[in-house]
Structure 1
Amino acid sequence: MRPSAQGAPEAGAAAQVRAPAQPRAADVDRTGNADRARTRGAEPVATARGEHTHGELPPPRPRPLVQRSSVRGQILDALRTALVTGELRPGEVYSGPALGERFGVSATPVREAMQQLALEGAVEVVPNRGFRVVERGDRELAELAEVRALIEVPVWLRLARTVPAERWAELRPLAEAAVRAASAGCPATYAEADRAFHRAVLALAGNDQLVHIAGDLHRRAQWPPAGIPAARGRADLIADAHQHTALLDALIAGDQELVRTLVGEHFTGAR
């Protein structure tokens, strides 16, 4: 089109000056914000048309993973206690819903905790029924005691030669806590205090894998065998706890021969 008499520019040129290029449909973000269009210097479609644009949606609420994990952990601790005390009897089958009702939770965290116990060898899965508590005999306990001795005794003897007396003295509160737990006569409380003391001793070696493996063996050794309604009696617990204090006294005194004797006695048939 030719210029008019007034010298006005062509209509096509006027359109290019007066209105910026509109973004293509492919450039417009699905949310209506036209983010990619902005990078080309163009106005968002919704803004150019006077349409209302919404701000960004608030971030989704986090799933309660921590809470669920906490529930599962609490159920796992409760089931481990029930194993030590004999409340969960060897050979018996327990269903997730029934245990969930007992603990006041759904069956899901119970099943998850039971799966962990199955990995640890405490229970076995019974399809369509639940979980059976593994029946363990004296032979298995003797084998566990032997393996624990093979792993822990050399470490104790090495630490007796290398760890200073003041470091051993720092373990006194744990040994005393074990004595109190044994005197209370609660097998589950003592089992936890017993593991805590052994874990602290082995931690002095600076080997995390050692602590983990020995702790797993120790926990398995604390489950009562078939035919015994609970773990060791109060007298046995007290005797075991006093072995801890006697060992600690010998370690602080640096009496290597006495340490060797006491360690050997402590791990003979250790539970």
Structure 2
Amino acid sequence: MTVQSGSHLQRHESLREQALVVIRKGLIAGEIKPGEIYSAAGLAATLGVSNSPVREAMLTLVQQGLMEPVRNRGYRVVPISDKDLADIYQVRVMLEVPAMGQLARTGKVAARAGEFGALADDIVRGARDEDLVLYIDADRQFHLGLLAMLGNDHLTSIVENLRDKTPQKGLGVLSQQGRLVKSAEEHRPILDAVVAGDAGRAEELMRQHLSHIRGEWNKPEGD
């Protein structure tokens, strides 16, 4: 497992929150795998922190339905079924596609086009360099940041939770094969459409992007 080590954990955040972020990244990237059992001590050693914040982070994931306790052994990632994946992406399409259209109509993003453009560039760079930490970080900030500009905290929270529930099992393989770049390059056109106020195009590009994620990222490794 190659989750980020403790040297990257910044002290201005609580250790529990930092551990939670790193574990979630491992879940999303497929480095922490469904069905396998992980001990708090083992993950704490990997992260270079004490057991307590890691255990608290794992309990948070239990409450969110992403992990389950295994008596006297640790915690297991709850496997997600194909139906669950399909249902989650259906909800994401229902929420995120019209949200991009609505955001395009507000005209708010133009003032922050440079900021989101830099994130779009980071997503592509992460894909090209096979830097999954950079890719996941920038992708998360890009999508959730755009949604946050609508000013609906419930919308952003729901989508964030749905993203956390969908480990991208084939992400590492796609990166190694160079196919992750294609998905990465879809972010700039979405941003351009939103900035231009083209609601219809923003919605269509977002729909295509989510379809690409559903069809490619969650294929079993080796496909």
The question of a shared fold, defined as TM-score above 0.5 by the shorter chain, is answered with yes
Distance 2:173 2:161 in 1: 19
Q: Is 1:250 equivalent to 2:164 in the alignment?
A: no
Query: 1:123, CA displacement in angstroms?
Result: 1.2
Q: Is 1:120 equivalent to 2:61 in the alignment?
A: no
- Residues 1:262 and 1:101: Cα distance change in structure 2 (over 3 Å): closer
Q: Which runs of 5+ in 2 are unaligned?
A: 1-10, 215-223
- Residues 1:243 and 1:125: Cα distance change in structure 2 (over 3 Å): same
CA deviations over 1:152-204 (Å, ceiling 9, x no partner): 11111112222257236242222222222222223332122111001121122
TM-score by length of 2: 0.78
Q: Is 1:134 equivalent to 2:40 in the alignment?
A: no
Matches for 1:1-271 after TM superposition, within 5 Å:
70-163=14-107, 166-167=110-111, 169-170=113-114, 171-221=116-166, 223-225=167-169, 231=172, 233-234=174-175, 235-268=178-211, 270=213
Identity between Structure 1 and Structure 2 (%): 38
TM-score by length of 1: 0.65
- Residues 1:157 and 1:168: Cα distance change in structure 2 (over 3 Å): farther
Higher RCO by CA contacts (8 Å cutoff, separation 6 or greater): 2
- Residues 1:269 and 1:119: Cα distance change in structure 2 (over 3 Å): farther
Q: Which runs of 5+ in 1 are unaligned?
A: 1-66
Distance 2:93 2:148 in 1: 16
- How big is the alpha-carbon RMSD for the aligned residues of Structure 1 and Structure 2? 2.5
Contact 1:165 1:253 in 2 (8 A): no
Query: 1:104, CA displacement in angstroms?
Result: 3.6
Q: Secondary structure of 2:75's match?
A: strand
State how many pairs are aligned: 201
